[in-house]
Structure 1
């Protein structure tokens, strides 16, 4: 690794102050928080303003400039949910040895956009690009639970029975809406042999830079390897994996 350039490091120290600030900062605020010499801070601030990375208002307060937005937008354009999802799914699969999916919602179905197979001989058989009814899957229920209530009811009216993939599938719309409310409260979803009679699954939401749920990550395992302890373990891994993928997409979790 090459030698770090002190002036560049200090400039980034200033810029990164604004990651956790809603309001603009004054020069004294910046000097106090960075512990930089006053003259050095003012020189760096003048440079950042000139290059468009900071903006200064008439009162002398600083805020992020348009150049930061332009760079962030360019970075966002280069992100590919499927490619990023495949990388995170591989990490999660390596940690648990089970099949991991990343899926998106399209209408009342989910489409798997990334998948890593289990290392076990007995495993779930699926493929990226596969489509399934959302209400029968953990990823689908996670995504449905993330929709606004009016949008959800327009998509899945309470007076229209739901198709079943197994005997365990939810077919009563009212029961589904109750289950989705519980998922919202819990923050993760699960399904027990609802899409495959031999497989259970857990899922967690994936968010973009705006906080909007854009996908879900799931871990599936055969029922022969499923019990309460394994459920809890896979739920934790799914939530961690979904959080990592969200971070790759620019989501910053709010401070507690």
Structure 2
């Protein structure tokens, strides 16, 4: 690898400062935040403004905000972004950490569709496939995605789907019971299901958000009951949340809701 160029590093440090607070900064603000010489900051800000990476804030002399060039670069990045490919990459990283089956799924009507999957290396593991469709209410990813819907949209989808099918004796089959479960998911920010889609498997799932903060997918970790325990659930809950956050970051999400 070549060496880092100090001037470029400093310019990028300046740009990244604008991701915090109200998105406006003055040269003195930057000097204090980065502990750089005033002359250096002035030259870098002038250069960034000349290239439209920064623009002056109207009616606030001396203050700047991000310019259109950053938006253009971000838009080009978003155009090339592939949720399935990014999901597969992150799922692989999560699976390498826990050695359990990891899925990324999206919601279609009241079903989930798996768009990325990495298997556990254990002999006993969950069997599934990309493209597989399951009733959302029976899965942790589905519960996570249903819980993210606006109430009016959730009501409409449940009304149109009618009776909830049962995949196992533990599947939720009543709308009221499902609504109660989704309320818990919203409160916790994590979804769990025990033997609801497969009588031998439990899963945990966390939300994946795009640059606007909208939930566009969910990432889950599936574990055979022979390896499930309360301690393992806590461990995998944290790992699923981290994996989902990493995938969200790759989609342009900056944190928060």
CA contact (8 A) 1:158 1:174 kept: no
The whole-number CA distance in structure 2 between the counterparts of 1:205 and 1:49 is 37
CA contact (8 A) 2:111 2:135 kept: yes
Distance 1:42 1:110, change over 3 A: same
Quote the offset at 1:231 in angstroms: 1.7
CA contact (8 A) 1:159 1:173 kept: no
Matched, 1:28 2:28: yes
Distance 1:23 1:95, change over 3 A: closer
Distance 1:226 1:55, change over 3 A: same
Quote the offset at 1:183 in angstroms: 0.6
Gaps spanning 5+ residues in structure 1: where? none
CA contact (8 A) 1:48 1:54 kept: yes
Q: Secondary structure at the match of 1:209?
A: coil
Distance 1:84 1:158, change over 3 A: closer
Q: Map 1:81-120 onto structure 2 (within 5 A).
A: 81-120=83-122
Q: Map 1:51-130 onto structure 2 (within 5 A).
A: 51-58=51-58, 59-130=61-132
CA contact (8 A) 1:157 1:173 kept: no
The whole-number CA distance in structure 2 between the counterparts of 1:67 and 1:42 is 19
Q: TM-score, normalised by structure 1?
A: 0.94
Map of 2:44 onto structure 1 = 44
Map of 2:181 onto structure 1 = 179
The whole-number CA distance in structure 2 between the counterparts of 1:89 and 1:6 is 35
CA contact (8 A) 1:158 1:173 kept: no
CA contact (8 A) 2:204 2:236 kept: yes
Q: TM-score, normalised by structure 2?
A: 0.94
Moved over 4 A (4+): none
Matched, 1:8 2:8: yes
Quote the offset at 1:37 in angstroms: 2.4
Measured on the aligned residues, the alpha-carbon RMSD in Å equals 1.8
Q: Secondary structure at the match of 2:243?
A: helix
The whole-number CA distance in structure 1 between the counterparts of 2:232 and 2:39 is 58
Q: Pick from 187, 190, 199 the counterpart of residue 188 of structure 1.
A: 190
Pairs aligned (count): 255
Map of 1:240 onto structure 2 = 242
* Between 226-235 and 124-133, the greater mean CA deviation after superposition: 226-235
Q: Pick from 146, 149, 153 the counterpart of residue 148 of structure 2.
A: 146
Quote the offset at 1:158 in angstroms: 9.9
The whole-number CA distance in structure 2 between the counterparts of 1:159 and 1:136 is 14
CA contact (8 A) 2:202 2:224 kept: yes
Q: Map 1:198-237 onto structure 2 (within 5 A).
A: 198-237=200-239
The whole-number CA distance in structure 2 between the counterparts of 1:30 and 1:223 is 53
